[in-house]
Amino acid sequence: MISDTNEIIEKVLIDEDSLNVRIKKLASQINDHYKDEDTLIMVAILKGSVMFMAELAKHIKLDINLEFMAVSSYDSGTISSGNVKILKDLDTDIKDKNVLLVEDIIDTGHTLLKLRNNLEKRDPKDIKIVTLLDKPERREVDIKPDWYGFKIPNEFVVGFGLDYDQKYRNLPYIGILKRSVYEG
């Protein structure tokens, strides 16, 4: 149980209202991009992007199919191991379909690059990437989101779906986790 967020959160980086406003703007940009299309397959990368996708999907003006993939690259630490494993694959065929990869955060980019390459082999009509958070200074591979919510500094963040050791996903904001939580 999270009794006092002051014990774990160094600083609120993005408050709940700011998240909601920006997600509506992202949805508007995505609606404009797909204005001549009928359907969109939104693929959430579990577990971190579920809250983001749920909020984003409320504002998408197309018929959408919600899909989920489970991908792991962290081994319960704070730094990506670079070893990307697909734990749960899509249930839907994406051939000739518009696919929107919905990510919580792009850090090094290794996970998303491997995932996008995997999905491109399935011959979709289009693959675009939307991420809530982007850490460009940490990027180790050449991948960029088509849309992003916020560029953030190189800090370990939790909340609104993002976790540390499966905790703190349910915070309604994005906060910087105190180092004492994950180093002590």
Question: Residue 51 — φ and ψ, nearest 5°?
Answer: -60, -40
Residues 123, 50, 17: CA angle, nearest 5 degrees: 125
In sign, the C-alpha dihedral spanning 18, 54, 74, 99 is negative
Q: What is the DSSP letter of 164?
A: B
Q: At what angle do helices 16-33 and 50-57 cross, to 10 degrees?
A: 60
Verify whether residue 134 is a known catalytic residue: no
How is 12-64 classified by DSSP, letter by letter? Answer: EEE-HHHHHHHHHHHHHHHHHHTTT-SEEEEEEEETTTHHHHHHHHTT--SEE
Residue that is written with structure tokens 């379909």 in the block = 97
Catalytic residue chosen out of the listed positions 104, 107, 134, 163: 107
What residues act catalytically? 107
